[in-house]
Structure 1
Amino acid sequence: MAVSAVLFGLALLTILTAHAFEQFGGYAPCPLCLQERYAYYFAVPAALIAFFATRSEAFGFTRLVLVLIAIGFVLNAALGVYHAGAEWKFWPGPETCAGGFDLNWGKEGIVDTPVIRCDEAPWHFLGLSFAGWNAVVSAGLALIAAYGAARRV
């Protein structure tokens, strides 16, 4: 199986899981959470492009795309570590950590809009928050992409 196909599937599954937690689980993302999605929004179509480039034997281009995906996920893993560290109070989060929000208007005026903080983890599994799991998954995807870029196709 092509590395790009594995990257495509895992990145797509991860971002769909994040959206499912948001839509069905009621976990609204903070500003850092939204930034951590950018790597997936890049990687999903890029992995698809790399897959088709490999099939057409454009191996140099495939490697370039896989390197870019690996760099994106390394940076995303670092952002996830920063975010998780802010949640654990190891360091302060960004100044916008209190969460910006748009005012929502209802029939009775301003509707109560929750403020989503970057330094408070709403969920943990095996000791890791969403940000922590994002760091782990991003690091794994970076390794897979780097492996594919280094591999002789």
Structure 2
Amino acid sequence: MTRKMLMLIAGAGSGLLLAGALAFQYIGGLAPCAMCLWQRWPHAAAVMIALLALVMPARWLAGLGGLAALSSAGIGMFHTGVERGWWEGPSTCTSGSIAGVAPEDLLAQIMEAPLVRCDEVAWAMAGLSMASWNAVLSLGLALVWLAATRR
């Protein structure tokens, strides 16, 4: 298989992951949290890189696509850890301890909190959340990009 074809396959994979995320959001009614949105940007970049491959299937471009896929995988793994309570996520989309917080401050935190929290799983399949699935599938796409660099 040619480098160009591998790059197009990897870009199409990112496009499908983006389409799936948008379908969950707009058809399924599952609003994304901040980290869910962060995971989308590298996929959008990978799609653009794959489109560039139509005219310039360069090795360095395939490497850039691989970095985009690995970026999304990394964010997905971090997000998975937040969902599972392994570590805290950004204070803008998770909840912390309320011990010792004055009622007025607690109310202010509640009023300023985002509607969708990053530490809650909105949907899961086979025990994996969307963030986990994104990490797994993005790692697979990174392997396709890597194969493209080796052609």
Same fold (TM over 0.5): yes
Q: Which has the higher contact order (CA 8 A, sep 6+)?
A: 2
Cα root mean square deviation, aligned: 1.7
Within the alignment, does 1:94 sit opposite 2:90 as a pair? yes
Counterpart in the other structure of 2:74: 78
Counterpart in the other structure of 2:42: 39
Counterpart in the other structure of 1:124: 124
Contact 1:98 1:115 in 2 (8 A): no
Residue 8 (structure 1) shift: 2.2
Q: How does the TM-score come out when normalised to structure 2?
A: 0.81
Give the aligned length.
131
Q: Partner letter of residue 36 of structure 1? A: Q
Distance 1:68 1:14 in 2: 18
Write the mapping of 1:3-18 to structure 2, written as runs, cut at 5 A. Answer: 3-18=6-21
Query: Which consecutive aligned stretches of 4+ in structure 1 deviate over 6 angstroms post-superposition?
Result: none
Distance 2:71 2:24 in 1: 23
Q: Partner letter of residue 119 of structure 1? A: D
Q: Partner letter of residue 144 of structure 1? A: V
Residue 52 (structure 1) shift: 2.4
Distance 2:16 2:120 in 1: 25
Residue 119 (structure 1) shift: 0.4
Q: How does the TM-score come out when normalised to structure 1?
A: 0.80
Q: Partner letter of residue 117 of structure 2? A: R
Distance 2:121 2:54 in 1: 36
List per-residue Cα deviations over 1:47-95 (Å, max 9, x = no partner): 11113223xxxxxxx2111101111211221110110110010111111
The answer for unaligned runs of 5 or more in structure 1 is 55-61, 100-113
Distance 1:48 1:75 in 2: 19
Contact 2:43 2:72 in 1 (8 A): no
Residue 115 (structure 1) shift: 0.7
List per-residue Cα deviations over 1:101-152 (Å, max 9, x = no partner): xxxxxxxxxxxxx71000001110011101001101111111110110112x
Distance 2:17 2:61 in 1: 20
The answer for unaligned runs of 5 or more in structure 2 is 96-113
